[in-house]
Structure 1
Amino acid sequence: MVITQAAFDAAVRAGDFVEGHDLSAIDWRDLPSGDVRVRNCSLVAGDLLQGELNEADFEAVTFVDCRFGGAELTNARFSQCSFFDAERRLGCDFADAQMRGASFIDCNLSMSRFAGANLHAVHWQGCKGAGADFEDASFSRKSGRTVSVAGRFVDCALDYVNFTRVCLDDCVFDGSSLRQADFKRCSMVGASLQRADLIGAVFDQARLDNGDLRGAVLTGFDITGLEGFAGIKLNDSQLGAVVGPLGVRVFPG
């Protein structure tokens, strides 16, 4: 059932949940307030460009071939949402979106694109994101002369993602599958990859200084391609796989 703009605006104005509707006809610009709450709805080929959706709450919403370019999504919350068209293998486009502090819980963001998006302190928990493209996205925030980097991807399926040249210092990927992920020329100083599956992941010219790889699956991991790895954290059982390419053999004590 397609909801009209007037009915949608009235629900937003009242702070009510919009539930069980097709939102494809909605204009997301100039909404009466930012108190947008949506549940069990769908949106096909939606244009959310420049949408004012800070603090918005989306639950079990299906977004198909949607564009969020330049949308304001600071501290927005998405739970059990899908942004992936499985039939066409197509994700949604978040180019240049402001997504500081946004959270995604049990969502499917496979093949989505984040070029130019501000993702500082974004949180993904239990999400699917295979093939997502983060090249040219930013996880940084500048306050005066201080630059902080933050982002969390916990227990996510992120195989084949592209993080080429992105600064991921201090970001968290604990328990996530990152098979054949592309981290070429990334800065990952202090990043946590505990229990991550890194089979086939590419780290050419990346910096992993003080990175935490304890419990990670490191089959095929080539430390010689790193730009830096001082202070890297490993379990005893991982030493052989990591230092083997350096010509070092590890023997039981």
Structure 2
Amino acid sequence: MAPFGSPQTSQIPATNVIENSQLDRADLENLSKIGSAHRLVGCILEEVDLSRLPLDGWVFEGCNVKKANFTGAKLGSTLWSGCKGGFADFTGCDLSEGAFEGCDFNNSNFRGATLTGSQFERCKLTGANLSEAKTLNLSFNETLLADARLPGLSFRKSRLNGLDFQMADLKKSDFRDAVFQNCSLRDANLVDCRFEGADLRGADLGGIRLLNAKQFKGATISRDQAGQLLAELGLKVR
């Protein structure tokens, strides 16, 4: 997978740049018929219905896509930088190989979306719903995922850096052989998760209850974390 970095927008011809414009569905339909990707800079698409549009390879830079409807849209290899997209709907859309950097998609809906090979860098996904999404090689870095719905995701053998899973629904997720660094699992739903071989020393485990200690068998934790987990059971560590 390519490393995280700023979208290479400089490679897109200047003639394909639309700046600081209020756009509607008809505008994007007309642009999509030209047959090339476009770069939208500082554009407003709030609450616009963009469902099922072919927008593969487009760049969205500093755009407002709050409550926009991308249901079923073709968004493969799109680049998103500094966008505001609270409550945006990406249900069932194709976002494979997409790159998101410094975006705020709080409470957005990615249910059933294809996120294969997608990357999120320094994003806010508080309350986002990734249920039933296709997530092979999906990666996050320094991203807020508090209260997000992420059931069944695989983080196996991943190095997880700066991820906040506080109160997230992670049931049945796979963290085997993962390494946590500056992460939080505080009060997360970890029912039926797997942690064999995981290094949890860089994770906040506050609020976790050892209802099924077997799922942590083979994981590595610090002495302080061990005391914290035992305290959750009402045991005093001296």
Q: Is 1:233 matched up with 2:220?
A: yes
CA distance in 1 between partners of 2:110 and 2:179 (Å) = 22
1:137 CA displacement: 1.1
Q: Answer yes or no: is 1:107 the counterpart of 2:109.
A: no
Identify the residue that residue 79 of structure 1 maps to in structure 2: 81
Whole-angstrom CA distance in 1 between matches of 2:16 and 2:167: 43
What CA distance in whole angstroms lies between the structure 2 residues aligned with 1:31 and 1:212? Answer: 50
Q: How do 1:46-85 and structure 2 match up within 5 A?
A: 46-84=48-86
Residues 216 and 93 from structure 1, CA distance in 2 versus in 1: closer, same or farther, beyond 3 angstroms?
Answer: same
Secondary structure class of the residue paired with 1:38:
strand
Q: Deviations over 1:194-219 (max 9, x none)?
A: 21122111101112223332311111
Alpha-carbon distance between aligned partners in 2 of 1:231 and 1:64, rounded to the nearest angstrom: 43
User: Residues 226, 127 of structure 1: CA spacing in aligned structure 2 closer, same or farther, 3 A cutoff?
Assistant: farther
Match of 2:195 in 1: 208
CA distance 1:156–1:164, change in 2 (3 Å): same
> For 2:226, what is the secondary structure of its paired residue?
helix
**Structure 2 counterpart of 1:153, which letter?**
F
What's the offset of the Cα at 1:60? 0.2
Describe the superposition over 1:193-247 as per-residue Cα deviations: whole angstroms up to 9, x where unpaired. Answer: 3211221111011122233323111112234436633432334443333466689
Aligned length: 225
- Are the structure 2 counterparts of residues 112 and 173 from structure 1 closer, same or farther at C-alpha, using a change threshold of 3 Å? farther
User: Normalising to structure 1: TM-score of the pair?
Assistant: 0.77
The 2-side partners of 1:53 and 1:227 are apart by 46
After TM superposition, list the pairs within 5 Å mapping 1:57-206 onto structure 2: 57-84=59-86, 91-140=87-136, 150-171=137-158, 173-206=160-193
Which consecutive unaligned segments of at least 5 residues does structure 1 have? 1-11, 85-90, 141-149
- Give the letter for the 1:39 counterpart: V
Taking structure 2 as the reference length, the TM-score comes to 0.82
Change beyond 3 A, Cα 1:78–1:68: same
Letter in structure 1 aligned against 2:43: C
Alpha-carbon distance in 1 for matches of 2:214, 2:108 = 29
Distance (Å, rounded) in 2 between the aligned partners of 1:48 and 1:232:
45
Match of 1:9 in 2: none
Query: Is the CA contact 1:139–1:168 (under 8 Å) kept in the aligned structure 2?
Result: no
Q: Is the 8 A contact 1:207 1:227 kept in 2?
A: no
In the alignment, residue 93 of structure 1 is paired with which amino acid? D
Percent of residue pairs bearing the same amino acid type:
25
Against the structure 1 CA distance between its residues 227 and 40, is the aligned structure 2 distance closer, same or farther, given a 3 Å change threshold?
Answer: farther
Residue number in structure 1 paired with 2:3: none
**Superposition deviation, residue 192 in structure 1:** 4.0
Q: Spell out, residue by residue over 1:101-135, the C-alpha distance to the aligned partner (whole angstroms, 9 max, x if none).
A: 21111100100011111112221111111111111
C-alpha separation in 2, matches of 1:98 and 1:224: 38
Q: Distance in 2 between matches of 1:170 and 1:67?
A: 34
Pairwise CA RMSD: 2.7
The runs of 5 or more residues in structure 2 that have no matched partner are: 1-11
Structure 1 residue 66, shift from structure 2 partner: 1.0
